[in-house]
Amino acid sequence: MTDHLNTENSTDVPTDSVSRRNLLLGMGAVAGAAAGAGLLTSETFAASSSLARTTLPAFHPHPEVLAAQIPGLTYLTIDAQQFWPSTATQRVYQDTTGSQPNPNDRLWAGLPLPVGSVIYQISVGYQTQPIIEISRRKITQPNPATAPIQVYQKSLPLSPGGPTSSTVNLTGTGAEAPVLIEADSSYTISAFCTAGSSIFNVQIGYVPPTQSFVPFTGTPRVFDSRLAANGPKFTINDERTIDLGIAGARTAIINLTVTETGAGGGFVAVFPANIPYPGNSSINWTAADQNVANGVITSVDATGKIKVRANNATHIVIDRIGFMI
């Protein structure tokens, strides 16, 4: 097994001269400020999150064996190669044991989460017993400049003589509060490693920021099958791809109209262009020659396209209202 020794340095990071008392005061101050800003908890998650499709299970703040991912969270994984030491000492990297400092020290990696994200879960692959920390640095530094403030710290369980993994689920109070990614700061995740401690990787589970609504300001009508350029009329199980002209958006808000509908009733489904028909229905009619309109919120593919599928003959009209980014 080959050791890869790296001598690159990382500057302006916390040092061991930060006292335990100051660490706890800093954690308490940040936790209190975050609570005042309305951090999400397991109880408020379903009501507050834009991804509220499920309710988070009860949290346990203590480390446990590697837990399953929580539905509704987004996940970021950071590999051992991305962790670097905080001083001029060398890092030791091994393919089979990950990264560790030489001698005892911290390893640091950037935490590139969108502003407004809230961290609820931290899973770590490691060896021996590292201490996991999250630190925050204000973008506008005071004079004189200060080191980043630790906003979270947890000593992981001792590994049973080899590689292991464990998960910490963050509850809503004290030192175990969810970590809010604030707009005026940058964030790092670090691991304090004693002899034999090493990091393989870290997985962060978080709620991304609420999507922002952007009203559509151009010509609203994007599709009308009554026009020669968009026709002909939809037939049974006819499916077409429509470009909404909103590349990069996550979600589209449209007004969907069916007209000159076929006898016996039917429906039209709207869904992202990059998936097969998922079995949904976005608008329904019950008789021939009806005119029915409905507001629809739908995901789009990366290029801003949707698919429209009719299970009976009808004309379809689509007007853009806005989109989410």
pLDDT tens by residue, 187-198: 999 999 988 899
CA–CA dist 130, 127 (Å, integer): 8
Q: Domain ranges in the chain?
A: 4-207, 213-324
Three-state SS string over 109-160 comes to EECCCCCCCEEEEEEEEEECCCEEEEEEEECCCCCCCCCCEEEEEEECCCCC
Q: How do beta strands 90-94 and 4-6 pair?
A: antiparallel
- The residues, any chain, with a CB within 8 Å of residue 180's CB and separated by 6 or more, are 34, 37, 39, 116, 117, 118, 119
Identify the CA nearest to 59 among candidates 167, 169, 154: 169
Token pair 């991304």 is found at 208
Token pair 């559509």 is found at 216
Residue 40 pLDDT:
33
Residue 17 pLDDT:
28
pLDDT at 62 over 70: no
Give yes or no on whether 4-207 and 213-324 have one common fold. yes
Residue 26 pLDDT:
32
- Least confident piece of the model among 9-23, 68-82, 101-115, 279-293: 9-23
For the domain 213-324, what is the CATH code? 2.60.120
Q: Backbone dihedral region of 139: left (phi > 0), alpha (psi from -120 to 50 degrees) or beta?
A: alpha
Alpha helices (runs of H) in the chain, residue ranges in sequence order: 20-36, 45-48
The answer to whether the beta carbons of residues 70 and 84 sit under 8 Å apart is no
pLDDT at 222 over 80: yes
Cα–Cα separations (whole angstroms), residue 128 to 100, 157, 197, 240, 320: 11, 8, 5, 56, 56
Which amino acid is present at 256? L
Residue 176 pLDDT:
79
Residue 29 pLDDT:
31
Q: What is the mean pLDDT of residues 7-28?
A: 30
Cα–Cα separations (whole angstroms), residue 181 to 38, 39, 150, 208, 316: 13, 10, 13, 10, 43
pLDDT at 54 over 60: no
* More reliable by pLDDT, 14 or 234: 234
- Least confident piece of the model among 45-49, 89-93, 141-145: 45-49
DSSP per-residue letters across 283-307: EEE-STT--EEEEEEEE--TTSEEE
Q: What is the mean pLDDT of residues 33-42?
A: 33
pLDDT one-digit tens code per residue, 155-200: 999 988 788 999 998 866 777 789 999 988 999 999 999 888 999 9
CA–CA dist 272, 59 (Å, integer): 34
Give the angle 212-213-214 at the CA atoms, nearest 5°: 115
pLDDT one-digit tens code per residue, 99-152: 988 888 899 999 999 888 999 999 999 999 999 999 998 888 777 777 888 999
The whole-chain average pLDDT of the chain stands at 80
Q: How do beta strands 292-299 and 251-259 pair?
A: antiparallel
Considering the entire predicted model, what is its pTM?
Answer: 0.53
Residue 25 pLDDT:
29
Cα–Cα separations (whole angstroms), residue 193 to 127, 248, 318: 10, 41, 58
| Model confidence band, residue 28 (pLDDT cutoffs 50, 70, 90) | very low
Asked if the 4-207 domain carries CATH number 2.60.120.260, the reply is yes
